Each structure stands twice: as C-alpha cells, then as structure tokens.
Amino acid sequence: MSERFVVLVMAVLIALAGVTPAVVAADQVTGSPDISLQAPANEVAPGTDVELPVYVSNEGRLQESGPDGLVARVTTARAVRLTARDSETPIEVNTGTYPVGNVPEGTSGPIPLSLTIPEDTPPGTYRIPVRVRYSYAPSVDYGSGTDGPEYRYVDRRETLAVSVIVRDRAQFAIVDVDSAARVSGDGPVSITVRNTGTAPARAATLRVHSSDDEVTFGSGADRSDAFAGTWAPGENRTFEFRATVAGDAVSRQYPLNGTVAFTGVAGVEHMSRPLNAGLQARPETSFSVGNLSAELHVDEPGTIRGEIRNEGPIAVDDAVVVFRSAGSVTATDRAASVGRLDPGESRSFTFDVDVGSAASAGDRQLNLSVRYRDPQGTRHRSDPLTPTVSVDPERDWLRLAAQNATFGIDTDNRLAVRVENTEDVALSNLRARLETEPPFSTESRLAYVDQLDPGETETLAFGLTVSEDGVATRSSIAVTVTAERPDGERITVDTFVVPVSVAAEQRASDTTLLAIGALVAVVAMIGGWWWLRRR
C-alpha cells in the first residue's frame, strides 16, 4: 500500500469524525401550555338563567428555552375545546362543547357558559367541571445539523373547574291567578306571588303588565302596580287588581307578565326575573229573546211582550231588560226588571210603547239589552238583542153611512147615520158632531154612543134643515167622531164625509091644472043646478 493512499484514507476518516459531533450538538426547546379557567363575575341567584363569562388563561411552562418563535410553539395550546358538565351540582349546564381556538400565553375570552340556576338551589359555592382538550408541541429541535425546526404535536386532555357562587337573594314566582273578569266587562283579579328565594325583600313592589290590548287594568292602562313592603322568604302575598276584557275578546287565557322591584339585604336595588302567568277571561253570559208579540199601530200606544232567556254559562242576579228607542217606537218605561236568571231559565217582560204619528207601517228592529250582576257582584251589560216586531197601519176604527141622504129645499129633516166599529178594540164615550155649511143648518148637531164593541153598529141621529134658497145638488156633510180607547186616552177617530143630496121642489104640470080646473067647473055647474031645483 502506497504512502499516498494511506494519507487519503486518514483524511476521509478525520472528515467523518468531524460530522458526527455536529449532529450531536443540535439545540432543543421544550415546554408545554399551562391552562387555567377564571370566571370573575360568578355570583348568581336562584331561579335565573345566566351566561357566565369564562376566561382561558395560559401561563406556559418552559423547560428548555430558545428563540421566541420556538418558545411560542411549545407553550401555545392549539384547537382548544371546552366541555362543561353538570356533575353532581344542582346547576344545569346548557352549553355544549365550545371551540376556543388557539390560546397562546396570556388570556383569551370571554367564553359564554350558559347555566340555569334552579329556584330551589341552596346558597353556596359550586364547582362546574370543565374538560379541556387541545394539542401542543412538547419540543422543537433546531440547530445547524437540522433542515429547520423539527417538532410534533401531541393531544392533551385535562379536567378543570369553574366556581359559581349562589348568593342569598329574594326570588319570586306567581303561584295562583284567580280572575272573575268576563268578556265585555270587568272584574276582580287576584294574583298570589311567593318569595321563593332565601333572603327577604324590602320595599317590594309588584308590577303586572298585560301584553294583549284586549285586557286592561283600572281605567284602561296596560299595567298596574301594588306595593308589598317587606317580604319574607317563603311568604305568599295576594294582590287584588281590577281588569277589563274587551267586548270583542274571546274566552281564553291572556298573558300576564310581572316583575318585582325590591331592595336586597345589602341595600342594593334589584329587579326580579320576569314572572309569567295567564288570566282566564270568563265567557260572557248570553241571552236570547223568545215568544215575542206586539200590538202596534201607527199613532197609537201599544204593548210589546216577550221572554228573556239566560243562555248561560252562569246565573245572573238583578237582571233588567233595557229598551232603547227604535226610531218612532219609544217606550214609556225603558227598563223591565226580571230578577235572578239561572242558566236556561226564562222570564217574561212587557214594555208599553208609543208609535209616532209620522211612523210608517212595517217591520221594526228593536234594540234590547240586559243589565245584570255576575256571581261576584260585578255589573255587566249584554250585547244588543235585536228582535223584529211589526207596526200595523193606522186604524180606520169606524165606518159611517147615511141611511136617508136626500132632502128637499126648505125642509126640516132627521139625518140618520149608521156607525160601525170595524176594529177588534172596543170604543167608549163615542161623540159625533155634525159640521154644517149653507144651505144646511142644524140645531141638533151632537150624538152620543156609550160603548161600541168590535163589529157593533149604532145609529146616530141629527136634525138637519135645508134652507129655502137651496138648490138641487149633491153635497156632503162632515161628521167628526171622538172616542176613548181601552187605555182611557181620548182620540179623534176621524172626520167623516157623509154624502147627501138636495132634491128640486115638486111643481104641477099644465095638463094637471087643466084637469083640475075642468073638474072644478063641473062641480060648480052641478052645484048650481041643484040649487036652482030646490027653489
């Protein structure tokens, strides 16, 4: 072996020996994230739903340091996910797994943690377990013997906890609503509220609000307040309000919302969570009209009779049927009391009415309603009831006809007029007056009938004189008749026109006069002959 070859081999060995130390001398950064959870605003009250703000802190743990970029590589928690659990606490967790993302050294958040604190949760501190999952690089190799930073990620799981403090505090719940308010009326509403919390409330005020405009309080407001003062834990308070339900409402539950404003034990003012309840609007009692009858004529008083029926669902007291004028039909007394009406019960009513002289015959729609008290003593008025009655034409009452209607000139006569009651109502104290104009005159112009029953006929007699300067003609004489109806009212039945005739004076003809003259001459001749013979 030549000397040159030996030198070359030794040079290669020395070169290889120089490479190996360079690999061994590579640098490394090692460390890990250090994750913790904080909830600084962690005080809650029973009976509430809260979103607890949670912050994720990473302090980082470093065993071997190095360049800043590589240090961040090993201390950063990547793809952080939080999963809270109910565990054995009474607090309910409503949030599922929450993706936080990368968390470098420092603090990230807030992360909303949705919790429900039941009303019966005792005061105290509760720890909510939270599982934390993330990835990180535990080490990074770097140096002249590497192609660049070399690292790998590993997964880590750990369980941490968030502290929740449940404080003593007054809490409230509506436990009962009793309503006597009915559709188209008002009534008392009792609302019972309980302090379900663990602390007393001071200067407490309940506010009730109706979110439906068909239910109002007092004089039409959508809300009403009631002062309660000091309110101990577990104590029930009952508040009275007066509610009105609109006439176009239906019988159903209407939403009520309430809140309680109060001062806590530390002197801090609080507002309770919303209190929700329903107000049951009771159905309106309905009525119907049956067996309706009416005796109505134009320009006469009349009577309307019927029955009012309680269709339910409740009994009513002090019921009064109210009549409102229907055009020309007016009631003498607008209210007819019918008293108590149980569901399904009917009572009769009567209205005396007047029909105006300007009225026309035909159907009329009445306007009736019922005022009543419900079992709680609250006054109500029903919806209008609109039955129909018929108004008959004005009555004719009488028919007059002259029995002897022809008179001579310059004569005194007896005028006989037959009068007949053509209606089904008796008339009394019937008085007839003869109205005359030339050539007629009378000294006996009045006639009287004590009673004229339906269908009955009587004869009226008057004295009638025809003056000597009358002429033959057809004329008429007026007879005005007044009478009393069965209700005692005196009426002018009518002015009747009785047709009469004046006959021409009877004169003898010339032939008749000649015959009479001849007869007189013959009698005179015979008388003269008889007288001469006796001489």
How many domains does the chain contain in total? 4
pLDDT of residue 16 exceeding 60 = no
% of the chain beyond a pLDDT of 70: 89
Question: 149 and 102: one domain?
Answer: yes
> Which of 74, 37, 81 has the alpha carbon at shortest distance from 56?
37
CA distance to 34, 108, 402, 512, per residue, from 504 (Å): 147, 136, 20, 19
**Mean pLDDT, rounded, for 470-497:** 84
Q: What angle do CA 90, 95, 100 make, to 5 degrees?
A: 130
Kindly state the average pLDDT of the residues 357-370: 90
70 CB neighbour count, 10 Å cutoff: 23
Read off the pLDDT band of 257 (50, 70, 90).
very high
What band does 54 get if pLDDT is binned at 50, 70 and 90? very high
Please check whether residue 481 is in contact with residue 398, taking contact to mean a CB–CB distance below 8 angstroms. Answer: yes
Does one domain contain both 158 and 199?
no
Residues 32 and 161 in one domain: yes
Looking at the predicted structure, is the pLDDT value of residue 68 above 70?
A: yes
Radius of gyration of the chain (CA): 58
Domain presence at residue 190: yes
Assess whether 237 and 355 both reside in one domain: no
pLDDT value of position 22: 42
**Domain residues for 298?**
289-391
73-92 pLDDT tens trace: 898 999 999 999 987 889 99
CA distances from 289 to 293, 381, 389 (A): 11, 15, 12
Residues 336 and 416 in one domain: no
Provide mean pLDDT across the span 441-464.
90
**Cβ neighbours, 10 Å, residue 370:** 24
- Contacts (Cβ under 8 Å, ≥6 apart) of 315: 340, 341, 342, 343, 375
10-24, 76-90, 150-164, 369-383: the lowest-pLDDT one? 10-24
Give this prediction's pTM.
0.53
In a domain, residue 517? The reply is no
Q: Tell me the pLDDT of the chain averaged across its residues.
A: 86
Asked if the model's pLDDT at residue 510 lies above 60, the reply is no
Closest CA to 120 of 235, 42, 197, 199: 197
Which structure tokens are listed for 523?
């009698």
- Among 280, 315, 335, the domain boundary falls at 280
Q: Strand pairing partners for 224? A: 208
- Among 151, 166, 181, the domain-final residue is 166
What is the reported pLDDT for 400?
84
343 and 437 together in one domain: no
Find the range with the poorest average confidence among 24-28, 173-177, 291-295: 24-28
Question: Is residue 3, in this structure, part of any structural domain at all?
Answer: no
User: Cα separation of 235 and 198, whole Å?
Assistant: 11
Whether 127 is in a domain gets the answer yes
376 and 314 assigned to the same domain: yes
- The enclosing domain of 252 has a CATH number of 2.60.40.10
